[in-house]
Amino acid sequence: MRAARLIKLVLLLQNRPSMTGGELARELEVSERTVARDVLALSEAGVPVYADRGRAGGYRLIGGYRTRLTGLGRAEAEALFLSGVPAALHDMGLADAASAARLKVSAALLPELGDASVSAAQRFHLDAPAWWRSGDPPELLPAVADAVWDDRRMTARYARRGGEEVERDLEPYGLVLKAGVWYLAARSGEQFRVYRVDRFTAVTVGEERFARSESFDLPAFWEERAAEFARSILRERVEVRLTAEGARLLPHVTDRRAAEEARAAAGAADDEGRVTVTLPVESLEVAYAQLLALGPEAEVLGPPALRARFAEAAARAAALYR
């Protein structure tokens, strides 16, 4: 623990011309007396830390004590500081490690690139969770993340949709953050599966490591499974007649890919400028809620039960506005 603190102290002094004992104490989360002892230890080890006495005094490095990554340009340095997602790192319990890594990189950069981390952070920010969704991470996420990083087998209890709990022995390959929801890609037996981390009710990370398959590609795996999932839940078909505005808005109220494919497969517009599309939907109940948002820009032609429900809703709405 102390060794890591001493390294961080040196890196802090490499990043700034001088720091007071109080500033170092706050950064290192120790007392000023501990800072003084650490500085003494560094001096005895040959690190040229100099203490300026007096009210305006502080600690600084002398003699050009610095290492530099001279091959990095400004664009590369700023891109490096954009590579992390702060909220995701915090959720996985890696915020401190990421902070230390950024500090090390900052200390190694040329002085003229020292503001790269600030300039990037002030221009780009990724807010991963969707609107109106709680930002609280799953309680067991840090344990799962540890297993992923160390390639350790884990045993987990998982709650299925119906509430039934099952126990699985897993080889955790990777984590994916999708619209504020964490998913684990893991191998169970000979198959790779996807699990929602917030449905784990218990996780035990073992000491045994597994041999990671060299052919596994997390981004490609996730893209394939996400497409399969989207197709699997679109079990029903509805026929809808749309105005030009309705056709434009359709991807905004239902599954985007399904809407775009339906528009592309539609025939020519009729005499009133409307096109008829066959749209895959999750269920008739979901289709009702989604297409209702299009109002008079959409006419549901079938199935008959769904058309009748829209006719009833239109009649009730007309009665309200008489």
Contact 39, 87 (CB under 8 A): no
Which residues, given as ranges, of the chain have pLDDT below 50? 69-70
The pLDDT value recorded for residue 180 is 77
Contact 264, 223 (CB under 8 A): no
Q: Which pair of tokens denotes residue 123?
A: 């221009």
Question: In whole angstroms, what is the distance from residue 27 CA to residue 8 CA?
Answer: 9
Question: In whole angstroms, what is the distance from residue 308 CA to residue 268 CA?
Answer: 26
Output the pTM of the full model: 0.55
Neighbouring residues of 275: CB distance < 8 A, sequence distance ≥ 6: 241, 242, 247, 263, 266, 267, 268, 269
- Report which residue type is found at 190: E
Q: Which pair of tokens denotes residue 27?
A: 């950064």
Contact 200, 144 (CB under 8 A): yes
Contact 297, 306 (CB under 8 A): no
Q: Looking up tokens 């398959």, which residue turns up?
A: 213
Whether a cis peptide bond, with omega within 30° of 0, leads into 303 is yes
Contact 158, 117 (CB under 8 A): no
The pLDDT value recorded for residue 99 is 66
Neighbouring residues of 226: CB distance < 8 A, sequence distance ≥ 6: 178
